[in-house]
Amino acid sequence: MPANEVEICKRIKEFRMLIGLSRVMFARKAGIDSSQIANYEHGRSPLRFGDAHKIILAFDLNPRWLATGQKPVELILAWTKLHSWNEHHEALFSDIYQRFFKHSLEFEHGSMLGHLGTSGAEIPIQLRVNAEIALISRVQEWTASVRDARLPEFVSGLCQYADEFFDKEPMEHPNVAKRRRLEMDAIKARAAAGSKSNKKGKAARVAKGDKAKHEP
């Protein structure tokens, strides 16, 4: 099995251990047979897209982390655009990720923002949301990692950089910023509602399955 497929499978076990679930419980929550989870974790089979989709939905797992190992581990926006992709169920997760989702998640590296910023085109609101969430994720990682004695200096340095940036590059008009803020908050609210709806649906399916098991 190719090295990248082995690493993807290792991350399944890494994530399962991180959230403290047994293989059986993890498989049950994802709606996948536990023997298949074992096949993935032991590197006997490459991860299929259909099973990856179930795991991502069940645990709000970041597909980018699963595919590449790049943090954050947690899903940032609701993963809702794949429900009609049943024809790809048996395809390799790595292939589908590379073909359809890699570039849409590159905001965490800033490469897409850099391209749009130099092209003169207006940056889409969705991309601003992605950039904001990615930045928050990075700041959370940084503030947890910096040593105690250097934390005040670190925070001061970030604020100073922002102040210097806006001294050179004036902010947008307050009305423009307010409109963007409302649009960005609306996008995040819809994403949160979609994620909540997915969780309720999963809980209902699990409850229905448990009830069926105990019926005579």
Spatial distance between the Cα atoms of 150 and 177, rounded to a whole number of angstroms:
33
Q: Where are the alpha helices (DSSP H) in 146-173?
A: 151-168
Q: What is the number of alpha carbons within 13 Å of residue 39 lying toward its C-beta?
A: 12
Residue-level pLDDT at 189: 82
Residue-level pLDDT at 91: 87
pTM, entire model: 0.52
**Residue 106: other Cβ atoms inside 10 A:** 16
Low-confidence ranges of the chain (pLDDT < 70): 75-87, 101-123, 194-216
The structure tokens listed for 141 are 């990682």
pLDDT tens track for 1-48: 899 999 999 999 999 999 999 999 999 999 999 999 999 999 999 999
Spatial distance between the Cα atoms of 153 and 172, rounded to a whole number of angstroms:
28
Q: Where are the alpha helices (DSSP H) in 31-122?
A: 34-41, 49-59, 63-68, 93-96, 111-119
Residue-level pLDDT at 154: 92
Spatial distance between the Cα atoms of 201 and 175, rounded to a whole number of angstroms:
39
Residue-level pLDDT at 138: 77
Residue-level pLDDT at 116: 47
Residue-level pLDDT at 207: 56
Residue-level pLDDT at 211: 54
Residue-level pLDDT at 33: 96
Instruction: Identify the structural domains of the chain with CATH numbers, from first to last.
Output: 3-101 (1.10.260.40), 108-214 (no CATH)
